[in-house]
A and B are shown apart, each in its own frame.
Chain A
Amino acid sequence: MSLNNPDKAEQGSSSKKNISLPISRVRLIMKSSPNVSSINQDALFLTTKATELFVQHLALSAFSNGPGRETSTLSYSDLANAAEETETFHFLTDILPKKILARDYFKSLQQMQEEDADC
């Protein structure tokens, strides 16, 4: 691991240009994807950097479009809204579902069943 130490020092000194997420972890996630056999160093770096940009972009757009600007908060529902409303975040709708009350869920379930019965 001694090889990694100079890396860390470098990242600390110029955090703006370099990356702060661990490359090894990103590689692990990438490798868990089916059919991926090998990834070159530049591709790994770019994916890590892109993930950081993505985190910033998601947080900022959820915050700016959400109601939290007055209260200075970013909440889960802001993110769920962003996933639903912004096209580039659509791929997140499965893991960022909108929360609804159980009461409302049962209501809509009932409605659906009634509609089914009508057909």
Chain B
Amino acid sequence: MAERPEDLNLPNAVITRIIKEALPDGVNVSKEARRAISQAASVFVLYATSCANNFAMKAKRKTLNAGDVLAAMEEMEFERFLEPLREALEVYKKGQKGKKEVSEQKRKDKEKKAGSDNDKSREEEEEDDHMEEEEPPEEEAEEEEVEN
């Protein structure tokens, strides 16, 4: 949970970079305008979350999923985001899968090494790795099912 109000702000440097990338070169963005866009972005997140959560609740689900977020975009009349979002999700999922494969390869290499050392440690390793596989690959995902 957010403990300080500034925890609900998005990092200014990143917001500024995104704004700069969106506008033509050389456009000057006032400090006040940057702050306003940053706040607007936080409100956007809250609005989208609340819309998505309504869809999840209607379907009697506790966990927000990708479909809920996309439905929220439609409800908020940001249909223009749907296509780029779907594309980005596709790429993201591929990236996640690729990462999994890489870590699997590393694991196998490690196993080989351990196996040549002695058999007992190899068994232990296999058990550990099995658990790792079931967990989502990212640190963020760990709290996924934790309720507030």
29 of the cross-chain contacts (CB-CB < 8 Å) are A17-B88, A19-B88, A24-B140, A25-B10, A32-B1, A38-B147, A39-B64, A39-B144, A41-B136, A41-B140, A41-B144, A42-B66, A42-B93, A43-B63, A47-B52, A50-B44, A51-B45, A51-B48, A53-B81, A56-B18, A57-B78, A57-B81, A59-B19, A72-B27, A74-B27, A75-B32, A75-B33, A88-B77, A91-B43
Instruction: Name the contact of B66 in the complex, choosing from A22, A40, A55, A73 (C-beta under 8 A).
Output: A40
The yes or no answer to B15 lying at the interface (CB within 8 A) is yes
The yes or no answer to A68 lying at the interface (CB within 8 A) is yes
Structural contact, B2 and A28, CB atoms closer than 8 A: yes
The yes or no answer to A52 lying at the interface (CB within 8 A) is yes
Structural contact, A79 and B18, CB atoms closer than 8 A: no
Structural contact, B89 and A59, CB atoms closer than 8 A: no
Structural contact, A41 and B138, CB atoms closer than 8 A: yes
Closest chain-A Cβ to B47's Cβ sits at a distance in Å of 6
Closest chain-A Cβ to B72's Cβ sits at a distance in Å of 9
The B interface is mostly helix, strand or loop, or mixed, namely helix
Which chain A residues numbered 21 to 43 have a C-beta less than 8 Å away from chain B? 21-33, 35-43
The A interface is mostly helix, strand or loop, or mixed, namely helix
Structural contact, B146 and A38, CB atoms closer than 8 A: yes
> Chain B residues near A47 (CB, 8 Å)?
45, 48-49, 52, 69
> Chain A residues near B65 (CB, 8 Å)?
40, 42-43
Report the interface size class on chain B.
35 or more
Instruction: Name the contact of B22 in the complex, choosing from A17, A24, A60, A95 (C-beta under 8 A).
Output: A60
- Chain A: how many interface residues by the 8 Å CB criterion? 66
The yes or no answer to A113 lying at the interface (CB within 8 A) is no
Closest chain-B Cβ to A56's Cβ sits at a distance in Å of 4
Q: Mark B45-57, 1 if CB is under 8 A from A, else 0.
A: 1111110110001
> Chain A residues near B2 (CB, 8 Å)?
28-29, 31-32
Q: Mark B117-148, 1 if CB is under 8 A from A, else 0.
A: 00000000000000000001111110111111
The yes or no answer to B99 lying at the interface (CB within 8 A) is yes
Q: Mark B13-34, 1 if CB is under 8 A from A, else 0.
A: 0110111011110111110110
The yes or no answer to B62 lying at the interface (CB within 8 A) is yes
